[in-house]
Amino acid sequence: MSSKEWPLWEVFIRSKQGLSHKHVGSLRAADAQMAIDNARDVYTRRSEGISIWVIESKLVTASDPDESAEFFEPSESKIYRHPTFYNVPDGISHM
């Protein structure tokens, strides 16, 4: 007999067709099926969703916030990846 707690699950909800699943919070459940059921009761009481994903929190791998400078800042200088970097002569449309 185990007296340990139910594991923690992260909940993602698709609010309507055409949108991606979005993280909404977490909850406790003994298994995946229960996690889905609980997510339905906890996070969609006001018709917030049409589809639910759950994943055990311990299975999520996250980037390290201490490395965020070397991770994310280098892309900031690569402004040529954005369309606003380029000059288009006046009068040109559909571009």
Strand partners, 78: none
**Smallest distance from other proteins to CB 91, Å:** 41
DSSP string, 21-37: -EEEEEEE-SSHHHHHH
* Footprint (CB under 8 A) of other proteins, residues 36-95: 37-38, 41-42, 45-46, 62, 64-66
Q: With respect to other proteins, which residue has the nearer C-beta, 45 or 94? A: 45
Q: With respect to other proteins, which residue has the nearer C-beta, 2 or 84? A: 2
Q: With respect to other proteins, which residue has the nearer C-beta, 37 or 53? A: 37
Q: With respect to other proteins, which residue has the nearer C-beta, 65 or 91? A: 65
**Smallest distance from other proteins to CB 31, Å:** 4
Q: Record the tokens describing residue 88, joined without a space.
A: 């288009």
Binding site for other proteins (CB under 8 A): 1-6, 8, 25-31, 33-34, 37-38, 41-42, 45-46, 62, 64-66
